[in-house]
Structure 1
Amino acid sequence: MLETKQLTVRFGGHVAVNAVSCAFRPGTLTAIVGPNGAGKTTYFNLISGQIKATAGEVLLNGNSLAGMSPSSRTRAGLGRAFQLTNLFPNLSVLENVRLAVQAARSGAHLRGLNLWSIWSDHKALTQLAEEVLEAVAMNDKQHMLVASLPHGDQRKLEVALLMALDPLVYMFDEPTAGMSHDEAPVILNLIRALKSDKTKTILLVEHKMDVVRELADRIIVLHNGSLVADGQPAEVIASPVVQEAYLGVAPIAPLAQAGAGEGV
């Protein structure tokens, strides 16, 4: 469903992501791990269009996303959650989700519908938004202002927005960042539920290895911008390359790119 081919970005003389080729299939949750500064979030930014690639390309269902803006990539089927919450703080919980529902359905079926039109005229959209909030157990908070929510609920709401967009690919960048030990399982349970839909592809940037072990079907490892390991979780976690990447013991050679991602 999603593929990067020789994806590269340079900032001056620094190569932040170095010719990464990888394919991601539906029904699979792939964890992207590596030490700080490995290029994980930059790789996400290249895929979702926040950063323009120096070389290489991103393909979704075989179609190149080159030249497409982040919003166009979202409409094409890429759903992205960020390390920091990206919400409308002065709108209610329900209004946030209704905007996402409307955005997802404002193509051929709702062409010409104004984004800020009166919501009471669009009961079907409101009902869909309420169904999404029920799925994330936030129906009882639908009329609260987002700014008043605790951090854990804001993270839940961000997942709800992604669900409302109904993307082909879910991209989570450290979804439990800043959450307490008690709050984190709620987000992990939501991601686990999304995994049950085998038509979707999920990418997860995460540094907590217990989360990775629990959720991942596959792990890829970035180090100094290069892909250095790719495989099943137990195998990758136990590999010397990953131990070296996290402990910084020795320089690591990039993984041979031919056929990268094809075996999992």
Structure 2
Amino acid sequence: MTQTLLETDGLTVRFGGHVAVDAVSCAFRAGELTAIVGPNGAGKTTYFNLISGQIPSSAGSVRLMGEDITRQGVAERCRKGLGRAFQLTNLFPDLSVLENVRLVIQAHQHKGFSLFSMASSHTELTTAAMAVLDRVKLDRLKDQKVSELSHGNQRKLEVALLIALDPKVYMFDEPTAGMSADEAPVVLDLIAELKHDTDRTILLVEHKMDVIRTLADRIIVLHNGALAADGPPAEVMASDIVQEAYMGKELDDV
């Protein structure tokens, strides 16, 4: 039986009298990419924020590999294997691309700044960081400051930092937003590559139906903060309620 890596049970958040996420219960399994879709204001990003710890829940729970992490903060969830790309963006904007990735790898490996091991560790960390940058096609920009990167290359760096963190759960919130047609395939190919690791799970908030069709193993639909549909892509996309109420005319081209 495929292992459940992440689970939300009745996850809810209220802002005053408004219920932004309404008792959402979902289990996310290893080796599966789940696309989370729905109209604007459906609660997709808020649901992501609850899972990653950006905002506290009003009710319900989040479990990571069987452990209740509902009351834990972003940093603790990250250490335990929950990775969200934007958490890492511009970690050190005045340092180079290489230095940013190297620091994430160093933190993940719990290596300090001991002078006795600095030389060998520095070489090892640099080699590992360059391997990650090569995967996201940023190796030629290794010496450029993060603050000077184009928007598209910053999004690539988000993926690089997330890969360097080596989480059990990857969370991508519209990873190609604002990217050019030439830049987007690099990120999408990387996400597709990450799917090959059957010990991990991927959550993807995305509006582009062609991206969802290509990558998703499963789709869940949120509407007014509640879970409206959950199942295989073909089944969910063909659903009348999804086409008419949640996805609109975009699905006509899928």
Q: Does 1:177 align with 2:202?
A: no
Which consecutive residues of structure 2, in runs of 5 or more, have no partner in the other structure?
250-254
CA separation in 2, counterparts of 1:86 and 1:14?
32
Residues 56-114 of structure 1, C-alpha deviations (whole Å, 9 max, x = no match) = 000011110021110000000001013994442211000110111011111xxx3xx14
Give the structure-1-normalised TM-score: 0.87
After TM superposition, the structure 1 stretch with the greater mean CA deviation from structure 2, 221-230 or 175-184, is: 175-184
Which residue identity does 1:7 align to in structure 2? Answer: L
Which residue identity does 1:96 align to in structure 2? Answer: N
1:14-25 aligned within 5 A: 14-25=18-29
1:195-234 aligned within 5 A: 195-234=195-234
Which residue identity does 1:63 align to in structure 2? Answer: E
1:55-74 aligned within 5 A: 55-74=59-78
2:246 aligned partner: 245
Judged with a 3 Å threshold, the aligned counterparts in structure 2 of structure 1 residues 181 and 137 are, in CA distance, closer, same or farther, namely closer
Give the SS at the match of 2:124.
helix
Residues 102-138 of structure 1, C-alpha deviations (whole Å, 9 max, x = no match) = 11111xxx3xx149xx965622222211111122222
Runs of 4+ in 1 over 6 A off after TM superposition: none
After TM superposition, the structure 1 stretch with the greater mean CA deviation from structure 2, 127-136 or 186-195, is: 127-136
1:262 aligned partner: none
Which residue identity does 1:202 align to in structure 2? Answer: I
Backbone CA RMSD of aligned residues: 2.0
Q: Does 1:32 align with 2:36?
A: yes
Give the SS at the match of 1:198.
coil
CA shift for structure 1 position 240: 1.4
* Residues 8 and 26 in structure 2, CA contact (< 8 A), matched pair in contact too: yes
Give the SS at the match of 1:189.
helix
CA shift for structure 1 position 153: 1.2
After TM superposition, the structure 1 stretch with the greater mean CA deviation from structure 2, 129-138 or 154-163, is: 129-138
CA separation in 1, counterparts of 2:63 and 2:89?
27
CA separation in 2, counterparts of 1:83 and 1:233?
28
1:151-190 aligned within 5 A: 151-190=151-190
CA separation in 2, counterparts of 1:70 and 1:241?
35
Give the SS at the match of 2:35.
strand
CA separation in 2, counterparts of 1:83 and 1:239?
34
Q: Does 1:11 align with 2:15?
A: yes
Which residue identity does 2:79 align to in structure 1? Answer: R
Which residue identity does 1:159 align to in structure 2? Answer: V
Which residue identity does 2:150 align to in structure 1? Answer: P
Q: Indicate which of 2, 5, 19 corresponds to 2:6.
A: 2
Identity %: 65
Residues 204-250 of structure 1, C-alpha deviations (whole Å, 9 max, x = no match) = 000111111110000000000000000000110111121212349xx
Which consecutive residues of structure 1, in runs of 5 or more, have no partner in the other structure?
249-264
Q: Does 1:102 align with 2:106?
A: yes
* Residues 217 and 232 in structure 1, CA contact (< 8 A), matched pair in contact too: yes
Give the SS at the match of 1:82.
helix
* Residues 87 and 158 in structure 1, CA contact (< 8 A), matched pair in contact too: no
CA separation in 2, counterparts of 1:54 and 1:217?
30
* Residues 218 and 232 in structure 2, CA contact (< 8 A), matched pair in contact too: yes
1:108-187 aligned within 5 A: 110=111, 113-114=112-113, 120=119, 122=121, 123-187=123-187
CA separation in 2, counterparts of 1:152 and 1:33?
23
Give aligned pairs, total: 242
Residues 32-60 of structure 1, C-alpha deviations (whole Å, 9 max, x = no match) = 00000000000000000001000000001
